[in-house]
Amino acid sequence: MNLFRLAGDVSHLLAIIILLLKIWRTRSCAGISGKSQILFALVFTTRYLDLLTTFISFYNTTMKVIYIGCSYATVWMIYAKFKATYDSNHDTFRMEFLVIPIAALSLLVNHDFAPLEILWTFSIYLESVAILPQLFMVSKTGEAETITSHYLFALGLYRALYLMNWIWRFFAEGFFDLIAIVAGLVQTILYCDFFYLYITKVLKGKKLSLPA
């Protein structure tokens, strides 16, 4: 564990909690892509199956359980509890366009052709693009609530911090996982345009709106 990774995990946790609290306290999931949240629930489920087979540390297990629990709670709020506020007309990204090619890719490019390993690989690839329905929704409506942009920033920052963690681990331990690194790079690059808007607009007190 190094500082980059800890900061990355905290940023990830913060993102998840910001989103949960936003929906719970406003009693509304307006502007939130349920499809991205379904994809994240799928990411956590397929990645953390090792909870059943391998014990790494108390920290590791606790965080995994929290991520999975929060992610299902979010999906439940969007599709059940606050369904009436869910903006499905703007959440039109086709999930199968991501899930099917990624399932195929994880069968072809993985560390080991074993069920758990393939599911782990699938989750890494899927996570890298799972935010696309949300970004698509923001670009479709042309704006995002400030709290939603804080969520997106924390979520994007998490993988950027993990990239630094991987650089650290490469030099400190000689550890590198090419699948995670390439997918993490793709994931971080997808956020770059948003990071730019966040820094130039939201941090200056303006709402995130895209030029018409």
Partner 1 sequence: REFTFIHDEL
The tokens of 22 are what? 């936003």
Amino acid at 144: A
- 12 touching partner 1, by CB under 8 A: yes
- 116 touching partner 1, by CB under 8 A: yes
CB nearer partner 1, residue 47 or residue 150: 47
- 205: Cβ contacts below 8 Å, ≥ 6 apart: none
- 63 touching partner 1, by CB under 8 A: yes
- 64 touching partner 1, by CB under 8 A: yes
- 182 touching partner 1, by CB under 8 A: no
182/154 Cα distance (integer angstroms): 20
- 50 touching partner 1, by CB under 8 A: yes
- 54 touching partner 1, by CB under 8 A: yes
Consecutive H or E run containing 22 = helix 3-26
Residue the block writes with tokens 């650089």: 167
- 60 touching partner 1, by CB under 8 A: yes
Amino acid at 65: V
- 114 touching partner 1, by CB under 8 A: yes
Q: Are 35 and 126 in contact (CB under 8 A)?
A: no
Query: Which residues of this chain interact with partner 1, rule CB under 8 A?
Result: 5, 9, 12, 47, 50, 53-54, 56, 60, 63-64, 67, 111-112, 114, 116-117, 120, 162, 165, 177, 180
